[in-house]
Amino acid sequence: MNTQSVASLPSQHLLLRRKCLPISFCHFLNAPARPLAPSALRIACRSTGPFDAMTTIALQHLEDLDIPAETFHGVGDVGDLGRNAEAALTTLTALSSRQRVKTLLMSNPQLLCVPLGVWLDFLTAYGMSRQDFFKLLGTFPELFSRGSLFNAGNVIVYLQSLGLSPRDVVASIIRCHPEVLLQDVQCGLKPSVEFLRLHLGLDAGSVRDFLCRCPGVLTRDAASDLVPRLELLCGVGLEVGAARKLLISDGSLLIGDLEPTLQLRLHFLTSDCGLSPDQALHALRSCPEMMSFTLANLGRKWRFLKERMAGGKEQVGTPLRGAFDGAQVLSVEHSVL
């Protein structure tokens, strides 16, 4: 006769466990909900998103900054976030106030995926201040989220080979047009520099000076953007030398909307000055500097020409009188006033 106790039988033991589970589960469902403690909430967040890869110190930084956990869900690569978040937060909190760091990260959470400390050391080595670095994080975060230190280093080396000093690179290039550091040297920067040399006739020293004045030209495609601008000016009758001189003196014509600027100047000459289309082109060819004046400035010069000098459209259309020439008109204005 089997004298083994019922409690020791495996089948009975399992049966008893199965009977207990539904009761326990129903009890859990009917129990009143209690809010999770902050530590438990952090653990829950970490198990459902990128927080799972972040260190405890990084999570503490975020808690101190009062940044919601969901801010970083789906931002960048989880591995990059785990590797860089703690160091990035340490760098940011050392650069500025908590409120500014919070504002920056709420707008650009992808920055925690970037080795910001390495970028800081890299750019400050060329003379950028820590304050300017923090400002750059907010004005052009794409440099850090899309760019690479390797490419940025290649760009700076190339710019220095053109005669730019580290101070020139920081003050004239990075502060004004940080997107230059995203350009490819071979396919982007060199063709633009060759345009300045071959099409505008600049020597090495003039190229350096022009880039300091107008670094935005390095962000333009030479074949599809820069060359057509020179051709457009020549197409309205400007001599090649005059067109080159105009573009060199006013680099904004190489990066702004040149065709609308041209059309607005011709419209001013025909509507405000009463010139025919042929006369307007003739006047523009006589004084290409009109392309660099604002419409308000042109209007002021036109009123001065009519009211103070008793002139009219005959003067505007006469090349020898140099109508609308900035230096001549202003010198006469000053002598009269």
DSSP 27-53: HHHHSPP-PPPHHHHHHHHHTTSGGGG
Q: CA 259, 243, 163 angle in degrees (round to 5)? A: 105
Residue 336's pLDDT is what?
35
Dig out the tokens for 268 from the structure.
């001013």
| pLDDT tens figures, 4-53 | 443 444 444 433 343 444 434 343 334 444 444 444 434 444 444 556 66
| pLDDT tens figures, 56-113 | 888 888 889 998 867 887 777 778 888 999 999 999 999 999 999 999 999 999 999 9
Phi, psi of 35 (to 5 degrees): -65, 145
Q: How far is CA 188 from CA 89, 156, 168, 179, 183, in A?
A: 34, 14, 20, 12, 6
Dig out the tokens for 159 from the structure.
């710019």
Residue 330's pLDDT is what?
37
C-alpha–C-alpha distance, residues 92 and 72, integer Å: 16
Residue 20's pLDDT is what?
41
Residue 52's pLDDT is what?
67
- The band of 329, judged by pLDDT with boundaries at 50, 70 and 90, is very low
Q: Which of 131, 139, 136, 57 is nearest to 94 (CA)?
A: 131
**pTM metric for this prediction:** 0.74
CB atoms within 10 A of CB 303: 11
Residue 310's pLDDT is what?
59
- The band of 305, judged by pLDDT with boundaries at 50, 70 and 90, is confident
DSSP 152-181: HHHHHHHHHHTT--HHHIIIIIITT-GGGG
Q: Would residue 322 be called left, alpha or beta, if left means φ above 0 and alpha means ψ between -120 and 50 degrees?
A: left
Which amino acid is it at 232? Answer: L
| pLDDT tens figures, 120-143 | 999 999 999 999 999 999 999 999
Q: Which residues of 196-212 are buried (b: 16+ CB within 10 A; e: fewer)?
A: beebbebeeeebbbbbb
2 pLDDT higher than 70: no
C-alpha–C-alpha distance, residues 96 and 179, integer Å: 24
Q: Which of 88, 83, 160, 85 is nearest to 118 (CA)?
A: 88
CB atoms within 10 A of CB 167: 11
